[in-house]
Structure formats: structure tokens, C-alpha cells
Amino acid sequence: MTLAHFLDGLRCSVYHTLNTLWLDPARALVECRECGQSAHVTTDDGRTA
Ligand SMILES: [Zn+2]
């Protein structure tokens, strides 16, 4: 069972760091391991995921 699922190619919406976001399926949210934000996710082409 996978608890954390890293999201390749996604950037933190706060610091715009790449590949620091991971999906927590238990809580159904995406969190940044750098700054701890669990909010919006943006892709490289600017879409909101
Ligand atoms: Zn962050």
C-alpha cells in the first residue's frame, strides 16, 4: 500500500519548486514537502490541476 505518491512535473504554488508535491490519498490532498502547503497545484503549462 502506497501512502505517499509524488507528483512529477508539478510545481508548488507558493515557491514554484518543482517535484516537491505529493499526494496523500488518505486525506485526499496534495501537499508540498518543502513548505508544507497543501493547497493548489499548478502544472508547467499553467493549468490548475
Ligand atoms: Zn511548497
* Amino acid 1: pLDDT: 44
Query: Are 10 and 31 a contacting pair, CB within 8 Å?
Result: no
pTM recorded for the entire structure:
0.57
Q: Which residues surround ligand 1, an ion (CB under 5 A)?
A: 12, 14-15, 32, 34-35, 37
Instruction: Go through 7-22 and write b for each residue having 16 or more CB atoms within 10 A of its CB, e for each that does not.
Output: eeebbbbeeeeeebbb
Rounded distance from Cα 8 to ligand 1 centre (Å): 14
Alpha-carbon separation of residue 39 from 7, 34, 48 (angstroms): 14, 13, 11
| Spans of all domains in the chain | 5-43
Query: Are 31 and 40 a contacting pair, CB within 8 Å?
Result: no
Query: In this predicted model, what pLDDT tens digit does every residue of 1-49 receive, in sequence order?
Result: 455 677 788 888 888 889 898 887 777 778 888 998 886 444 566 665 5
> Cα separation of 2 and 41, whole Å?
21
